[in-house]
Structure 1
Amino acid sequence: MKKYIVVFFALLMAPLTSTAADFKEGVEYNVVQDTADSKPTVTEFFSYVCPHCYSFQPLMNKLEQRNPELELNKVPVAFLGRELGPILQRAHGAAVLLKVDKELTPVIFDRIQRQKKMPKNIADIKAVFLDNGVVEKDFDGVINSFALNGMIAQYDKKTERFDVHGTPTIIVKDKYELDMGQIGSEERFYQTVEYLLSLD
């Protein structure tokens, strides 16, 4: 994660302007799969323990606002946070199944990154859910469910498929991976994603 410090600081602090209209493979993005998804999808591989992922959330939220048709998929990785990684991965999946991920994602990020309250186990995660309006029986019904186990298997499969080793990693239409070190500004980030969404 350390290698992202300078990149994301520059991305967040740069002026919201872009002077170039062209986007080049090998510069702003790389092709990582042969076939593109026909739908306008963006996949964000992230971890709640990654401070750069936390800083990146406002950009992802604005990207959604700029592109209402966009299908944004958040994939929590298990390889960060040691034994906490799979627990937080399960927490995100449970929030998705309970349809509270939009509300709980910023809450979990805030607790870990700003408040420095790192959960230690599933019981701590459960407390966060209950504190934010989730009914206990609903949480208990999904946290070890077949559906959630299947979702986690898909998270791991996607992480392996795109050979993800760092976060955040952004994949557009299951074909193009952004090179955040080459993009340089917030507006350029939006424009690069929107350009890739227009490709086959």
Structure 2
Amino acid sequence: MKKLMFALVTLLLAPLAQAAPEFREGVEYTVVSEVPSSKPEVTEFFSYVCPHCYSFEPLMDNLAERLPDAEINKVPVSFLGRELGPVLQRAYGAAVLLKVEDKLTPVMFDRIHRQKKMPGSIEEVKDVFVANGVDGKEFDGVINSFALNGMIAKYDRLTEQFNVRGTPTVIVRGKYELNMGEIGSEDRFYRVVEYLLAAD
């Protein structure tokens, strides 16, 4: 009789087990805002000086290819790299304004982490830009511009809003923060992001 009851309970619970979500709040992700954005977006907070961000860059590139309809954003933080943190944050914003971010970001990562050539000032950042095809006068025109200062303020505001204290930090739809240490593999990273993009 006990075996029969156990079998019946197992059968009754089976549909519930199958309906269990693949990923769980508090494990693979954390809810950091009550209201998600209305658009499919993934935001990575990063720093050029962060070795984990350097290693993570190919995953973000692949994510953009896998999710062509999603908006992939990068937010440079200023709290890493000591006095160079704000300089490198400004360098990223300048690359965006000059429409060379796709070209300059791999260059900056490579110089810092593979070549061990850390730019020591905004002048050295300019040299990197110029060496990679950016007109020096165009760089000068944006590096302290009103538009770039506004972008820096937005970067800092978002960093504070999501209480970002380490990088890379990935936020999906402005509501879910990935718990990178719990995801475990590249494939699971993609699947968690896709799951959260479709979540309520």
Please report the TM-score for the alignment, with normalisation by the length of structure 1.
Answer: 0.89
Does the alignment pair 1:183 with 2:145? Answer: no
Query: What's the counterpart of residue 77 of structure 2?
Result: 77
* Large movers: runs of 4+ above 6 Å: none
Q: Which of 1 and 2 has greater Rg?
A: 2
Query: What's the counterpart of residue 22 of structure 2?
Result: 22
* Structure 1 residue 37 displacement after superposition: 0.7
Please report the TM-score for the alignment, with normalisation by the length of structure 2.
Answer: 0.89
| Separation (CA, whole Å) in 2 of partners of 1:122 and 1:183 | 37
Query: What's the counterpart of residue 59 of structure 2?
Result: 59
Identity %: 70
Query: What's the counterpart of residue 44 of structure 1?
Result: 44
* Structure 1 residue 136 displacement after superposition: 1.2
Deviation track 1:151-199 (CA, whole Å, cap 9, x = no partner) reads 0000000000000000000000000000011111110000000010112
Question: Cα RMSD (Å) of the superposition?
Answer: 1.0
Aligned residue identity for 2:101: D
**Count of residue pairs the alignment pairs up:** 181
Deviation track 1:40-79 (CA, whole Å, cap 9, x = no partner) reads 1000000000000000000000001101011111000000
Query: What's the counterpart of residue 143 of structure 2?
Result: 143
Query: What's the counterpart of residue 131 of structure 1?
Result: 131
Query: What's the counterpart of residue 196 of structure 2?
Result: 196
| Separation (CA, whole Å) in 1 of partners of 2:181 and 2:104 | 29
Query: What's the counterpart of residue 93 of structure 1?
Result: 93
Structure with bigger RCO (C-alpha 8 Å, 6+ apart): 1
Aligned residue identity for 1:28: E
- Structure 1 spans left out of the alignment, 5+ residues: 1-19
| Separation (CA, whole Å) in 1 of partners of 2:107 and 2:62 | 18
| Separation (CA, whole Å) in 2 of partners of 1:23 and 1:186 | 15
Aligned residue identity for 2:111: R
* Structure 1 residue 21 displacement after superposition: 6.6
3-state SS, counterpart of residue 103 of structure 1? helix
| Separation (CA, whole Å) in 2 of partners of 1:70 and 1:94 | 23
Aligned residue identity for 2:59: L
- Structure 2 spans left out of the alignment, 5+ residues: 1-19
Distance of aligned partners of 1:34 and 1:21 in 2 relative to their CA distance in 1, 3 Å threshold: closer
3-state SS, counterpart of residue 54 of structure 2? helix
* Structure 1 residue 138 displacement after superposition: 0.8
